[in-house]
């Protein structure tokens, strides 16, 4: 079952690759709470940016899940990271379906269903983490959460990659 979330993430890339030629010429890259939006020309980067962000998040979660699965006291914490990994995978899948419904089929009603499914997946994942993690959070031992130098480097690289993927397009395409 450890491979299942990674298969879900792979499906997001395969689905976008399959529909790539049918995707509209402009891609939504930013949707604000105030209704403001930002579109960018279709490219491999703009089409696959969101699944790449999710892949980076999944890699971060995987680093932490593996770290905790090695220690006896961390098994409950590893379970929390496992829930987060599934949350990221399903969030990515639903966002991909929303994207395809919007930019391939121009079917906003279906896109809205997947938008709400995404919200449900994220809220449900957070809720499950809170429920499963009550004992972990209650008996929090700081020494269990120490990461090695190699893990720190990986986490910093993933953070920088995430920040680039998430925010650089807003600066790049806003000036275009």
Degrees to nearest 5, angle at CA 175 with 172 and 176: 85
Predicted confidence at residue 84, as pLDDT, reads: 94
Residues contacting residue 79 through CB under 8 Å, at least 6 positions apart: 132
Predicted confidence at residue 56, as pLDDT, reads: 97
Contacts 24+ apart (CB under 8 A), 142-146: 144/68, 144/71, 144/73, 144/74, 144/77, 145/77
30 phi and psi, to 5 degrees?
-150, 130
CB 49 within 8 A of CB 165: yes
Integer Cα distance of 168 and 123 in angstroms: 27
Domain that holds residue 96: 4-16+23-43+52-174
Structure tokens at 94: 């639903």
DSSP H/E element including 37: strand 37-41
**105 Cα distance to chain centroid:** 23
- Average pLDDT per run of 10 along the chain, which is 176 residues long? 90 96 87 79 92 96 84 73 94 95 88 94 95 76 75 95 90 70
Coil vs helix vs strand at 78: helix
The count of structural domains within the chain is 1
Predicted confidence at residue 97, as pLDDT, reads: 95
CB 41 within 8 A of CB 83: no
Predicted confidence at residue 71, as pLDDT, reads: 65
């Amino acid at each position: 079952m450890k491979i299942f979330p990674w298969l879900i993430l792979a499906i997001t890339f395969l689905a976008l690759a399959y529909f790539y030629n049918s995707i509209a010429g402009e891609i939504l890259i930013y949707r604000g709470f105030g209704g403001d939006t930002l579109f960018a020309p279709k490219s491999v980067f703009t089409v696959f940016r969101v699944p790449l962000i999710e892949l980076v998040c999944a890699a971060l979660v995987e680093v932490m899940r593996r770290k905790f699965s090695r220690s006896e006291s961390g098994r409950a914490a590893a379970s929390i990271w496992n829930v987060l990994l599934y949350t990221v995978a399903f969030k990515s899948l639903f966002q991909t379906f929303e994207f395809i419904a919007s930019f391939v089929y121009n079917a906003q009603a279906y896109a809205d269903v997947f938008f709400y499914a995404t919200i449900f997946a994220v809220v449900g994942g957070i809720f499950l983490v809170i429920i499963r993690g009550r004992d972990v959070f209650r008996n929090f031992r700081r020494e269990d959460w120490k990461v090695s130098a190699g893990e720190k480097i990986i986490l910093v690289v993933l953070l920088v990659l995430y920040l680039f993927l998430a925010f650089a397009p807003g600066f790049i395409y806003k000036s275009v």
